[in-house]
Structure 1
């Protein structure tokens, strides 16, 4: 039985992939970092994750695509429906084929939107708690 790798840092996660995938993952990471400069970077569900008041966005490399996972509560996939039309979407992920150019600017915009929604939800929770 093969042991599943566990990662403690985004760097460890990225380092497991071939150089071409590492380069793309680093660019995805940089786009998200630009959108969420104060976010904490952690590993969650064995993927690099940016957190601000909880998880905002995860990213991963899969066999044939790169994926960006954003909790559905932020409404990102609905807000970017038109821009995401060429890509496969699930309830919580956008998949970008490795055979095509990766839309780093779109990923950054999605992260910014998710971060803003995350802030609004955090403010509502704080206001409710008072």
Structure 2
């Protein structure tokens, strides 16, 4: 994807099938982290409190990802597995055919914030 300087431009530049899903993810992260500032770091949209990125998201050609603290992924590994989502140490990937739930987004965001001591 081309470099962008804000969340709106990032979502608009994402592959068309992912735009609505990314907009929903952004809204859910905003609700879960109401005092976080929207930032662009490493060409990826994120939510920052003080100087710490709590959560970020990205779109790729075939999937999207939500990136949080490794402790948040570990704490919710069972739920991630039940939803048949793929997880790495710091992220969960999902697609239009197997989206991430709003409930899991909120849990991961709140957990990530807690793991970072904010």
Please give the alpha-carbon distance, in whole angstroms, between the structure 2 residues aligned to 1:56 and 1:101: 21
Larger Rg belongs to: 1
Q: 1:81 aligns with which of 69, 77, 80?
A: 77
The DSSP-based 3-state class of the residue aligned with 2:23 is helix
Q: Which residue of 2 aligns with 1:93?
A: 91
**Structure 1 residue ranges (4+ consecutive) displaced by more than 3 angstroms after TM superposition:** none
CA displacement, residues 12-49 of structure 1 (integer Å, 9 cap, x when unaligned): 10111244421110100011111100101011111110
The DSSP-based 3-state class of the residue aligned with 2:106 is helix
The DSSP-based 3-state class of the residue aligned with 2:27 is helix
Q: Which residue of 2 aligns with 1:29?
A: 26
Q: Give the gaps of 5 or more residues in structure 1.
A: 123-130
When the two structures are aligned, how many residues end up with a matched partner?
Answer: 115
Q: Which residue of 2 aligns with 1:62?
A: 60
Q: Give the gaps of 5 or more residues in structure 2.
A: none
Please give the alpha-carbon distance, in whole angstroms, between the structure 2 residues aligned to 1:6 and 1:97: 22
- What is the TM-score when the length of structure 1 is the normalising length? 0.80
**CA contact 2:54–2:69 (8 Å) conserved in 1:** yes
Report how far residue 66 of structure 1 moved: 1.4
The DSSP-based 3-state class of the residue aligned with 1:63 is coil
- What is the TM-score when the length of structure 2 is the normalising length? 0.87
